[in-house]
Structure 1
Amino acid sequence: MQRTLVLLKPDCVQRRLMGEVISRFEAKGLEIVAMKMIRITPELSRQHYAEHVEKPFYRGLEAFITSAPVLAMAIEGLEVIRVVREMLGATSGLKAAAGTIRGDYSSSRQMNLVHASDGEEAASRELKLYFSEEEFCEFDSVMTPFMRAGDES
């Protein structure tokens, strides 16, 4: 099992697409084990996007990510990092395939609705920025036997 961070960005919140996006993760059989709506501060933005702070596009990125609330989620599942990123599609909504979240709902590179960790190291680091250990609600879903075989865990 893996755990990853997913942020429903300000454009997703403002466009009232949170339920659509969450329902896709749930329909896939992924488990949401933590969730909260927050306002990202400039300080948190700099921590989250540390590798981009010195790049020319960072000011616009910070202005966008701090412009409205985001919904932060910790999601668990088998190969969840890869699975979620494939569900999102290409970074630019204009290049994302139909059937992906960005392909269906986004037409922008920056206003692309959702952030998801790009690897295990990033997921670990990012989850610690948004959630304390006490905020994770692990549970055994009664749906699990109907979503995957017992030897797939």
Structure 2
Amino acid sequence: MFNAKAIVPKETPATMMESAVFGGAYCSLPMTTDEEKKLVFNAVNRATKKLREAVNITIHMTGLYIEPVEISERDESGDYVEDGRTSIAPRIIIFAEDGTTYGCCSLGAYNSIKRIVSMFGLPDTWKKPVDIVPTLVTNGKNQVLTINLA
């Protein structure tokens, strides 16, 4: 007889991260001192770069901040829909070893991050940075931002 509990642990790093995101936000960086809080706040408030600016460039990822945000829906041509519909999307800030922060609002990137965390654990447990490469995948008329491992 198949026993899923024996194969899949109750709590994995990915489920712990996802629970924190849906609870308000997930941050892998310490935020005990005022300086640490300022670092995270400034990165979340305005990342150094958009993740799309780093497509096909290796990033030595050392930390993550993820929060759900409400975004206005757009039609097929990219214009905002008139009825004001919104949806929830993950806002991601990636902290790089060189101090650069990369921001995006992308379900594709979020799904990649979940897989990375499932395999490598939460960023605060890493012994060294995880090297990632943001990529764009064409999906019909749209391009989806995703992340590969370098």
TM score, norm. by length of structure 2? 0.24
Structure of higher CA gyration radius: 2
Higher RCO (Cα < 8 Å, 6 or more apart)? 1
TM score, norm. by length of structure 1? 0.24
Q: Which has the higher strand share?
A: 2
